[in-house]
């Protein structure tokens, strides 16, 4: 609600607590535990900026911010709150709203291209490590050097496959690209596709100028991103918001300090922006938050605890709205003490004690004063919003989507020639096997009457035809690959003449050559001279020379040891038994003087 050109947020014991529009681009923070009134505070601020003519963007992660499109209704609770805040005249009114949705279900589709996203944010969305992020940078660099556009995920997959197969060509100029790393990135892209990445990357891309608009009454457009589904993919949700902030920083011209900001961003669940944030990305976020003020953009983070925001960024947030904090553990008590120390002290109450005693709808507020100094912290009751609190029906949402002019620009996607199509064409030209890249479609040749040619005896001329070849292109709207026809000149297709009931020509049978006539054998027996039998020549076999056997000794020539040994071998061969073998063994041992004597 506006009061003398300022945004009236709440009322303290000293009167209205207001935000000066000229200080709105100094950024701010809305914090507090669950159920303490952060959403209502956000809605009241968004209404105030819209009434000032400032466009607003906010992510609706629970679906309860959509009610800003409809006027509110009075109730006993709202009347009590207005009496507490000292508001006498409180008209209910709605704000102009445009609904957006990455998935195109509860708003107009929000898309961007892979090139606009950049390798750094895409690596965060894919959850890549440092090595994989470096390879992704190489892929972007090669695509840029070779003039291949990266518009959607299939372009990135095609470039990854292309660079992986030709890694040796690029190693000296761009560095090593391991196939294992390429495979890891491909797996991450497959996961992103399952999360709806194909619907986010594509064309037409979002033109942020469509957000910087006013309605016919001069009120700023409130752009609401339906994020109930997107919020369940934290990496995709946070990366999308960071991309929008970066795009504003790069596209908007310098504005400097002015009476009104050019645009205000509200980032709900801000802790997701900084979870698992790399050092490089955190430095970029800090730079954007620090410098985007000069572009006339105010950024407000909404989270449960101020400690969710890095200290390097927290120091850039001048406006503070702190709802109640819970301190049930020693760690939480330290947080409460640290938060209380960030406010400018008010001698009327203990800030640290007040943080844990605030009721729902109450907050400690500190905004910058006209001279740029922080205001003394005030304990205030937040005003109710002038628009509806809570969700809206699907029918009302659809009515807003059908009646605005944005749908004609963004609802129908298209896919122009990019890296995927260029690489597919190269595969066809080099004679590569057409699998999922392209596949030919057999065209039916239009029949041409040839009866006149046949009757006139003229030869049938071949007819050259263009047989269409289709490329399979992904359609984000349907989630399937569709075929797009490209005509290519094929080999001549000969038309088959139509069979006519004409007289078949009589062909002359070829003259068969005379077969030799063999004389038949006589019927009487003819004596045949007997031939001498011939023995077949035996093959010459070379006899092997066997060593001459040594003549066996006679028993009379054997020594005693040889006789016993011969007897032992004979007994073992003939199976004389174990006892005979033992006797022979004892005898042999006795010859050598071992075990020859028996104990008596």
Close Cβ partners of 185 (under 8 Å, ≥ 6 residues apart): 126, 128, 132, 135, 136, 160
Q: Collapsing DSSP states into helix, strand and coil, what is residue 347?
A: coil
Q: Could you tell me how far CA 251 lies from the centroid of its own chain?
A: 26
- Asked if 30 contacts 357 with a C-beta cutoff of 8 angstroms, the reply is no
Backbone region of residue 506 per phi and psi (left: phi > 0; alpha: psi in -120 to 50; beta: other values): beta
As a whole number of angstroms, the distance between CA 123 and CA 341 comes to 38
- Asked if 430 contacts 160 with a C-beta cutoff of 8 angstroms, the reply is no
Give helix 234-251 / helix 114-126 axis angle, nearest 10°: 140
Close Cβ partners of 414 (under 8 Å, ≥ 6 residues apart): 203, 204
As a whole number of angstroms, the distance between CA 283 and CA 268 comes to 21
As a whole number of angstroms, the distance between CA 224 and CA 106 comes to 10
CB atoms within 10 A of CB 529: 5
- Asked if 133 contacts 119 with a C-beta cutoff of 8 angstroms, the reply is yes
Query: CA 398 → CA 29, 401, 411, distances in Å?
Result: 32, 5, 13
Q: Which of 439, 410, 442, 413 is nearest to 427 (CA)?
A: 439
- Sign, CA dihedral 3-6-8-13, equals negative
The 10s digit of each residue's pLDDT in 253-295 is: 888 778 999 999 999 888 888 877 778 888 888 888 888 989 9
As a whole number of angstroms, the distance between CA 204 and CA 278 comes to 30
Instruction: Give, in degrees to the nearest 5, the angle at Cα 34 between 48 and 221.
Output: 25
- Asked if 37 contacts 382 with a C-beta cutoff of 8 angstroms, the reply is yes
Q: What is the pLDDT of residue 274?
A: 84
Q: Which of 548, 22, 523 is nearest to 259 (CA)?
A: 22
Q: What is the pLDDT of residue 285?
A: 86
Secondary-structure class of domain 2-107+210-392 per CATH: alpha beta
Residues of the chain with pLDDT under 70: 428-558, 560-561, 564-600
Helices (runs of H) and strands (runs of E) counted in the chain: 20, 16
Q: What is the pLDDT of residue 512?
A: 54
Q: What is the pLDDT of residue 269?
A: 85
Q: Could you tell me how far CA 346 lies from the centroid of its own chain?
A: 50
Q: Which tokens in the block code for residue 482?
A: 């569709």
Q: What is the pLDDT of residue 432?
A: 45
Helix boundaries (H) for 308-417: 311-314, 330-341, 351-355, 394-403, 407-410
In degrees rounded to 5, what are phi and psi of residue 82? -65, -40
Is residue 547 reached through a cis peptide bond, with omega within 30 degrees of 0 on the bond before it? no
Q: What is the pLDDT of residue 133?
A: 94
Q: Which tokens in the block code for residue 314?
A: 């927290």
As a whole number of angstroms, the distance between CA 447 and CA 566 comes to 104
The 10s digit of each residue's pLDDT in 388-408 is: 999 999 999 999 999 988 888
Provide the strand spans (E) within 153-291. Answer: 222-226, 263-267
**DSSP label at residue 201:** B
- Asked if 341 contacts 388 with a C-beta cutoff of 8 angstroms, the reply is no
Instruction: Give, in degrees to the nearest 5, the angle at Cα 202 between 201 and 207.
Output: 95
As a whole number of angstroms, the distance between CA 322 and CA 338 comes to 13
Helix (H) or strand (E) holding 305: none
As a whole number of angstroms, the distance between CA 171 and CA 163 comes to 10
Q: What is the pLDDT of residue 255?
A: 84
Q: Which tokens in the block code for residue 447?
A: 């029949």
Maximal C-alpha separation, the chain: 152
């Amino acid at each position: 609600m506006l009061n003398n050109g300022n945004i009236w947020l709440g009322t303290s014991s000293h009167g209205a607590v207001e935000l000066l529009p000229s200080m709105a681009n100094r950024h701010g923070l809305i914090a507090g535990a669950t159920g303490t009134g952060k959403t209502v505070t956000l809605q009241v601020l968004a209404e105030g900026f819209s009434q000032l003519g400032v466009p607003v963007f906010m992510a609706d992660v629970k679906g309860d911010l959509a009610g800003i499109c409809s006027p509110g209704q009075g109730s006993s609770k709202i009347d009590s709150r207005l009496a507490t805040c000292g508001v006498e005249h409180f008209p209910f009114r709605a704000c102009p709203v445009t609904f957006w949705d990455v998935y195109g279900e509860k708003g107009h589709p929000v898309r961007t291209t892979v090139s606009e996203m950049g390798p750094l944010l895409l690596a965060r969305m894919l959850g890549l490590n440092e090595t994989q992020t470096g390879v992704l940078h190489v892929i972007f660099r090669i695509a840029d050097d070779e003039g291949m556009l990266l518009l959607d995920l299939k372009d990135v997959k095609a470039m990854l496959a292309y660079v992986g197969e030709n890694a040796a060509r690029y190693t000296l100029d761009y560095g090593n690209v391991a196939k294992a790393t390429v495979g890891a990135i491909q797996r991450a892209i497959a996961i992103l596709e399952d999360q709806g990445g194909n619907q986010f990357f594509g064309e037409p891309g979002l033109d942020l100028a469509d957000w910087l608009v006013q309605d016919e009454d001069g009120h700023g457009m409130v752009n609401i991103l339906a994020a109930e589904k997107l919020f369940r993919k934290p990496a995709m949700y946070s990366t999308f918001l960071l991309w929008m902030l970066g795009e504003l920083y790069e596209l908007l011209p310098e504005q400097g300090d002015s009476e009104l900001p050019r645009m205000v961003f509200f980032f709900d669940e801000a802790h997701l922006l900084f979870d698992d944030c790399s050092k490089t990305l955190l430095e970029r976020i800090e730079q954007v938050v620090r410098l985007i003020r000069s572009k006339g953009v105010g950024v407000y983070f909404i989270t449960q605890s101020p400690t969710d925001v890095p200290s390097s960024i927290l120091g850039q947030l001048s406006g503070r709205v702190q709802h109640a904090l819970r301190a049930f553990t020693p760690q939480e008590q330290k947080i409460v003490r640290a938060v209380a120390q960030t406010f400018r002290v008010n001698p009327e109450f203990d800030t640290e004690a007040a943080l844990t005693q605030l009721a729902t709808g109450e907050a400690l507020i500190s905004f910058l004063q006209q001279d740029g100094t922080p205001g003394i912290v005030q304990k205030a009751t937040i005003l109710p919003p002038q628009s509806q609190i809570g969700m809206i029906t699907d029918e009302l949402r659809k009515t807003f989507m059908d009646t605005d002019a944005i749908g004609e620009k963004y609802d129908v996607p298209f896919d122009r020639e990019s890296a995927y199509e260029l690489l597919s064409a190269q595969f066809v030209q080099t004679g590569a096997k057409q699998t999922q890249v392209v596949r030919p479609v057999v065209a039916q040749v239009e029949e041409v009457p040839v009866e006149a040619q046949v009757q006139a005896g003229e030869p049938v001329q071949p007819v050259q035809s263009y047989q269409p070849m289709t490329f399979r292109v992904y359609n984000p709207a349907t989630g399937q690959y569709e075929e797009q026809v490209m005509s290519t000149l094929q080999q001549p297709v000969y038309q088959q003449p139509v069979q006519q009931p004409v007289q078949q020509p009589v062909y002359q049978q070829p003259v068969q050559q005379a077969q030799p006539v063999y004389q038949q054998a006589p019927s009487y027996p003819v004596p045949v001279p007997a031939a001498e039998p011939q023995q077949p020549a035996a093959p010459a076999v070379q006899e092997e020379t066997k060593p001459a056997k040594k003549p066996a000794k006679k028993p009379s020539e054997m020594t005693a040891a040889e006789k016993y040994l011969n007897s032992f071998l004979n007994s073992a061969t003939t199976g004389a038994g174990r006892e005979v073998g033992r006797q022979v063994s004892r005898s042999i041992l006795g010859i050598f003087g071992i075990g020859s004597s028996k104990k008596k």
